Chain A
């Protein structure tokens, strides 16, 4: 391709998709700025600072690791949201509170197991305020048990909610279901507040710090989050691609009526969707608390928009999109600190969400359903 042709193509892109061109220009500028910052040079134009500054490779890497870790947990939680969206066809606003419920169930189990025999009063253990901080290495079995309880417990809760709330309204439109999920979200969140109070409790601290490549420092809890979420994502991938159930789920996401006509037991697939999505949400919440160290009654609700951003950026309905979107949004949330003051990094993640929706409403992996 000659230069003239290339330039013409460029003009066509700018003319046809001005939004995309602007986004490309901004991203290019930011990348250039990042390179300049890493090189430690500053470029001035007409007396004003154009780009550059200073940033060490080490701090960039630690930001990337932070973003990656949060992104993995967000992606894990996002899988369930994406699945309910494609199979049940509604945006589930209660998903964030499912994350919270799973985290609380898991941490109560971990705390009680860890505290048994230490003479700590059961009430303090249950309320997560005995002052003890768990970590994967120092209290391996309680943390592992908590992980399992978080998954199983949240599955139980979402199945109960489905039975009571969504099943009676299977045939209604998606906005009614969305509104019902807002009701579920309110009820769940404040039931947690009723039982556990509204304070923030510190429950986990990194027990062991490991330095990788003599530059990145990670804790044992962060490694747990990394390993568990990657394993679970691999598991979901195998389930969808290699099992009959996965095939049925993909068929249903594609066309529910057709799936029913072909003899797929849709109600059973829906139940399995909730089991898979709810379990992953609970485990995602548990792992996020393990990583951040603190838990409070509304952390999942606050996280919900980030999960939505991840799922939509990836292309709602696509499981792989949810995983990729989670990592992308996690990275944006963390790396925005290079250019923006700390109060505005979260806003940048939402801005990415809006921009993606405007430019490519079907998301990055758009057009692909559940596969």
Chain B
């Protein structure tokens, strides 16, 4: 039994909620330690900044991983157009809620309240998702993957197109803002209103220990986002543990058998796609559009692959695993290396400007330039790390940290008992 298996068994023994809370708590603790180590007198503010940012990232990726888990982990629909559905949600919300009389140079919207915009964004993402699901009914998994990624690029290119930057729809000026993007009333603004209104004593207390207002607002926003994650988790757990969810798992395992049992698998697939895409649209608003601004650059296909990495690390087919995976990915692989790279110094050695100068140090047996170059470019290298982790997981631990792909229908395990250690359980 490998170490990963041991860790997994221990994780499995914990109740799901405890597991998630403990895991996120542990990531917060790491951020706190880092802040204390590098922050000096300013450590409290730095810690609030680190924890706030990492929480927003965890929240955003957790919603996306949960949505993808419903589509891929449960139903086997290989959707790699996540970025496109996020863009649909975010842009719809932005167009619905942008002020009708914006600042000079900005794009006007319909000026509706944020909650209306959010519902509109989710609905639009669901509708577009339903349309995109139509090919899903007849294509193989890897063809579907290519169709969805092409679909998401078409969406990005369309919102990037200058011709839609500002158009008149039935006499009302609206638009996407083209390559420069669109500003709207942000969810973050709601959080800071909350903080400055009800939370005023909290602000005073935080300022007492040196935490600045914006950092506190960001932290609050992160925690609010975790509440959204909890709500999404609850909804998805209800769906996946219901008879509806059992049909989804059946489609994943064998669609023909499911059909022969009288289930209309096409309708199940379309519904699943729509629910998942609505959640992705919501993440587009609450995560990418967090600062009250969206632009086409935020919806490149790369983000789709990050969500995949998060889900695979956590274990597809498990809602709890989705959140753990999102936390591992965004906290430990995406956020932490960049902060470490920024804050580690090598006693005043300036990093060389390019790799040739860095390697040249080896001629005089001096590894410091290369080390300095590596540290200053760690935000690039972390993606190499993410890629390697992805390969490692898919090779050695395809179920991720918490995958529950095998769900026994019987109350007793039908697996053959293992004969001591050394037996190959997967043979």
User: Which residues from chain A sit less than 8 Å from chain B, CB to CB?
Assistant: 90-91, 122-123, 126-127, 165, 168-169, 172, 174-176, 178-180, 182-191, 193-198, 305, 308-309, 312, 341, 343-344, 346-347, 350-351, 353-354, 357-358, 361
CB distance from B142 to the nearest CB of A (A): 4
Interface centre among A122, A172, A189, A344 (most CB of B within 10 A): A344
- Tell me if A186 and B161 are in contact (CB < 8 A): no
CB distance from B164 to the nearest CB of A (A): 9
- Tell me if B154 and A194 are in contact (CB < 8 A): no
CB proximity to A under 8 Å, residues B281-305 = 305
- Tell me if A194 and B380 are in contact (CB < 8 A): yes
Cβ–Cβ < 8 Å partners of B389 in chain A: 183
C-alpha spacing A168/B391, complex, angstroms: 11
CB proximity to A under 8 Å, residues B150-168 = 150-151, 153-154, 157-158, 160-163
- Tell me if A343 and B146 are in contact (CB < 8 A): no
- Tell me if A191 and B163 are in contact (CB < 8 A): no
B interface: dominant SS: helix
* Bitwise interface map of B from 60 to 96 toward A, beta carbon under 8 Å scored 1, else 0: 0000000000000000001000000000000000000
- Tell me if A179 and B312 are in contact (CB < 8 A): yes
A-B contact pairs, 16 of them (CB 8 A): A126-B354, A127-B356, A172-B398, A175-B141, A179-B390, A179-B394, A185-B305, A186-B305, A190-B387, A194-B377, A308-B146, A343-B160, A344-B157, A354-B154, A361-B139, A361-B143
Given A123-B357, A195-B355, CB of A178 within 8 Å of CB of B142 = yes
Cβ–Cβ < 8 Å partners of B380 in chain A: 190, 193-194, 198
Cβ–Cβ < 8 Å partners of B305 in chain A: 182, 185-186
Cβ–Cβ < 8 Å partners of B355 in chain A: 126-127, 194-196
C-alpha spacing A198/B379, complex, angstroms: 12
Given A169-B395, A187-B388, A194-B384, CB of A175 within 8 Å of CB of B142 = yes
A interface: dominant SS: helix
Cβ of B22 under 8 Å from chain A: no
Shortest Cβ distance from B396 into A: residue: A168
CB distance from B270 to the nearest CB of A (A): 15
Interface centre among A90, A183, A198, A351 (most CB of B within 10 A): A183
Cβ–Cβ < 8 Å partners of B360 in chain A: 123
Given A186-B305, A357-B135, CB of A312 within 8 Å of CB of B143 = yes
CB distance from B2 to the nearest CB of A (A): 15
C-alpha spacing A344/B155, complex, angstroms: 10
C-alpha spacing A198/B153, complex, angstroms: 22
Cβ of B234 under 8 Å from chain A: no
* Bitwise interface map of B from 293 to 328 toward A, beta carbon under 8 Å scored 1, else 0: 000000000000100110010000000000000000
C-alpha spacing A308/B157, complex, angstroms: 18
CB distance from A325 to the nearest CB of B (A): 13
- Tell me if B394 and A90 are in contact (CB < 8 A): no
- One of B151, B161, B394 near A180 (C-beta < 8 A): B394
Cβ–Cβ < 8 Å partners of A182 in chain B: 305, 308-309, 387, 390
Cβ–Cβ < 8 Å partners of B150 in chain A: 305, 308-309, 350, 353-354
C-alpha spacing A350/B153, complex, angstroms: 8
Cβ–Cβ < 8 Å partners of A188 in chain B: 387
- Tell me if B78 and A347 are in contact (CB < 8 A): no
- Tell me if B394 and A176 are in contact (CB < 8 A): yes
C-alpha spacing A182/B308, complex, angstroms: 9
- Tell me if B142 and A187 are in contact (CB < 8 A): no
Cβ–Cβ < 8 Å partners of A197 in chain B: 354
- Tell me if B78 and A343 are in contact (CB < 8 A): no
Cβ of B195 under 8 Å from chain A: no
- Tell me if A126 and B142 are in contact (CB < 8 A): no
Given A123-B354, A341-B161, CB of A183 within 8 Å of CB of B139 = no
CB proximity to A under 8 Å, residues B348-394 = 354-357, 360, 377, 380-381, 383-384, 386-391, 394
CB distance from A163 to the nearest CB of B (A): 13
Cβ–Cβ < 8 Å partners of B140 in chain A: 361
Cβ–Cβ < 8 Å partners of B145 in chain A: 91, 178
Given A179-B390, A305-B149, A312-B143, CB of A126 within 8 Å of CB of B381 = no
Cβ of B138 under 8 Å from chain A: yes
- Tell me if B381 and A190 are in contact (CB < 8 A): yes
- Tell me if A344 and B390 are in contact (CB < 8 A): no
Cβ–Cβ < 8 Å partners of A127 in chain B: 354-356
- One of A185, A346, A351, A357 near B387 (C-beta < 8 A): A185
Cβ–Cβ < 8 Å partners of B146 in chain A: 91, 305, 308, 312, 353, 357
- Tell me if B135 and A346 are in contact (CB < 8 A): no
Cβ–Cβ < 8 Å partners of B20 in chain A: none
